[in-house]
Amino acid sequence: MRLSRLLLFVAMAVVSAPALAGGPVVRAFSGDETSRFASTYWFRTERGSVLVDAPFLAADAEALKAAMRAGGALPLGAAILTGAQAWKSWGLVPLVSPETRVWGARSTAAMLEADFHRERERFLRSGIPLAAMPRTAPHVTNTFTGSLNLGFEGYTLRLFEAGEAGSPTATVVFVPETGELFAGGLVWNRVHPVTGGSDLGAWRRALSSLKRLGPRVVYPGYGEPGTAALIDRMSEYLQELEEAVRPLAFRSDLSAREIASLRKGLVRAHRDWRLPSILDSSLETEHARLRGLLSGGE
């Protein structure tokens, strides 16, 4: 099967994308603000369909299921979980059949099992109804540690755990024959990322390692696919965030006025990025991280 066109199924609409030669047709499904516009990807091959990640809530999962059914991609043959956040893959439950193989890092499988009930309680308290979430967590049937190559129809799905201590970790999927890179939560495209106090320097080094793969198309964990420029843009954003906060790291706390000023500057520099409300949390956690470094913490 050739990738003469790259079709993107984003927010239940199909749009055209740049052409690549020699790979399967990839489609993308984008969640809404509740999932922070998390993206799911799927493609159909002669031996069955493959899903990379899954939507968050039941309604999105049913919409994706309908799209895949219309595209002749069900029953689902295999799914790969990038594992950036456990809850991101909850919508996998209604998409799998007993024959579906679900691949994920061993750490992802453990996280899904250990965090499911706690995370579901957290979302219930935030106002998401129980009926919108699964009763059980997705089950990973095939685990790996480090890296793994999966072959299909003459192509390679190279799975590997990316990231380093202090940075977000994700299972990245790279197809060397076509240069397609599924970057998981390491790359956010025009969506302000949740940094959560991560070491932004380590995050940028992880992005540099992805750039060295020479990808032609990057499928981010959040937002729409694009070229390798998405990796550079993400790295630049993280550097801007760190440099904006660093001059205030000597303060014990950031005032509401200082947070508002920092947020305004970053929003002005990234006018087309969604979820600017996320910035307050990222600014506060980055300040705490830098403050800890100044105090001799880890």
Q: For residue 176, which of 212, 208, 207 has the smallest C-alpha distance?
A: 212
**Mean pLDDT rounded to a whole number for the chain:** 87
113 is a domain residue: yes
236 is a domain residue: no
The values of phi and psi at residue 282, to 5°, are: -65, -40
Domain count, the chain: 1
165 is a domain residue: yes
> In the chain, count of helices (H) and strands (E)?
6, 13
Distance of CA 131 to the CA centre of its chain: 24
216 is a domain residue: yes
Token pair for 60: 């999105």
CATH number of domain containing 132: 3.60.15.10
Distance CA 16, CA 32 (A): 20
239 is a domain residue: no
Sheet order of strands, 170-175 included: 147-152, 155-162, 170-175, 180-188, 217-222
Question: pLDDT by residue (tens digit) across 175-215?
Answer: 999 999 999 999 999 999 999 999 999 999 999 999 999 99
DSSP string, 54-90: --SSHHHHHHHHHHHHHTT--SEEEEE---SSGGGGG
Distance CA 270, CA 223 (A): 14
209 is a domain residue: yes
Residue 27: domain span: 6-229
Question: pLDDT by residue (tens digit) across 250-276?
Answer: 999 999 999 999 999 999 999 999 999
- The fraction of the chain above a pLDDT of 70, given in percent, is 91
**CA-derived radius of gyration, the chain:** 19
Q: pTM for the whole thing? A: 0.89
257 is a domain residue: no
272 is a domain residue: no
The residue to which tokens 């996320």 are assigned: 278
